[in-house]
Amino acid sequence: MHMSGGGFTRLPGGSVVVALSLPRPAHGPRSGPYECGCRVRVLVHAVNRQRALTRLRNLGLRAVYLRGNTEPPTPDEVTAVLHHPDGLVWRETPDDDTESWHPIRALWRPRPVHPTRAPHTAPDRGPLATGDEDRPASAA
């Protein structure tokens, strides 16, 4: 069971926005689930709380539970999820308002690797030979 901080807000139309702070899922070929210690804030818009949790479970977060309402979504979070076509977004730094909300499918993509040195590339040999090198520019 993945213990999570979270909560929900019931909207005037009857639907809910559920917010959960969860361990970041595995994101590399050799990493085990929830290995990095990172947490993400996930927002789900659904007709009710159970449907919101079902949406997350269907995406592979099988043992997600909402216990209480200790960390309900902020008004800005509600706006973010309501304006997303999928109604399901996340970000890794919940308290950083400069980080954008990401579509949920981006959560399972590998993180970009920032190498400490540039990858090996072939030396630059100049422009490719086209056979026009010996002709004057006016003849081209």
Q: What was the pLDDT predicted at 89?
A: 93
Digit-by-digit pLDDT tens for the chain (140 residues) are 445 679 999 999 999 999 998 877 665 444 444 445 678 899 999 999 999 999 988 888 777 888 889 899 999 999 999 999 989 999 886 677 778 888 887 776 555 554 554 444 444 444 444 454 455 555 54
Q: What was the pLDDT predicted at 60?
A: 81
- Cα–Cα distance measured from residue 26 to residue 115, given in angstroms and rounded to the nearest whole number: 20
Q: What was the pLDDT predicted at 125?
A: 45
Q: How many helices (H) and strands (E) does the chain have?
A: 2, 5
Q: What was the pLDDT predicted at 106?
A: 77
Q: What was the pLDDT predicted at 36?
A: 56
pTM (2 d.p.): 0.66
